[in-house]
Amino acid sequence: MDSDHPDFSRVIEICRSYDASLLVDVAHDLGVLGPMGRGVLHEPGVSGKPTFVIGSFSKTFGCIGGFFASNSRAASYYVRGFSGAYTFSNYLVPPQIAAVRSAVKIVSSPQGDSLRSHVLSLSTLMRTTLASLGIKVLGRPSPIVLPFIGPEKLARKAYRYCLQNGVILNSVEFPACRKAEARFRLQITPRHSHEDVVFASNVIADSVSSAAAD
């Protein structure tokens, strides 16, 4: 919800010193951030590995489902045996697995590199456009862009104006973030264009101004 991440090398080091396990959810970075889309954990300077990694197929991979991975065979067996969602649900069906496999192929191909760089350039463009229009944007460039709004009332009104003016977005407020720190959440995809991003930024800025003037 803040488009940020901790200093993983440091967190891993602290876990080691306390003999603690570390679970990292890579739902929002696997496939879209870091070298070859391998995520923040593979960015230069990040050393060490978390004990467990979980991820979702519902973002980059365009499907439902997800995964749990660990170097520990015991942990993998434990999760298989005691995870209710795993034991009492059905497996992914072949078309879903085919979709995820195709997405993985794209992610690790030169096409993946160009899709990622397009998304990141749009994200940077949206962040700078919003900033130039007086809207603070949280976190760091990623497919998720978070214009900060603040008071919930302002966010709700501005959200309505955005919808009325052709921009569908998610409005996030407490308890998903702190009170009076409402923000919008937009997700950029490779299908978006420069024009889309500039259009949405202008609608958001105008909507916030109109909501504040109400």
Ligand X SMILES: Cc1ncc(COP(=O)(O)O)c(C=O)c1O
Residues within the interface to ligand X (CB under 6 A) = 25, 27-28, 56, 58, 66
Closest approach of ligand X to the CB of residue 28, in Å = 5
Closest approach of ligand X to the CB of residue 15, in Å = 19
Closest approach of ligand X to the CB of residue 1, in Å = 8
Pick between residue 6 and residue 153 the one whose CB is nearest to ligand X: 6
Pick between residue 112 and residue 143 the one whose CB is nearest to ligand X: 143
Pick between residue 66 and residue 141 the one whose CB is nearest to ligand X: 66
SS (H, E, C) the chain: CCCCCCCHHHHHHHHHHCCCCCEEECCCCCCCCCHHHCCHHHCCCCCCCCCEEEEECCCCCCCCCEEEEECCHHHHHHHHHHCHHHHCCCCCCHHHHHHHHHHHHHHCCHHHHHHHHHHHHHHHHHHHHHHHCCCCECCCCCCEECEEEECHHHHHHHHHHHHHCCCCCEEECCCCCCCCCEEEEEECCCCCCHHHHHHHHHHHHHHHHHHHHC
Closest approach of ligand X to the CB of residue 192, in Å = 19
Pick between residue 29 and residue 181 the one whose CB is nearest to ligand X: 29
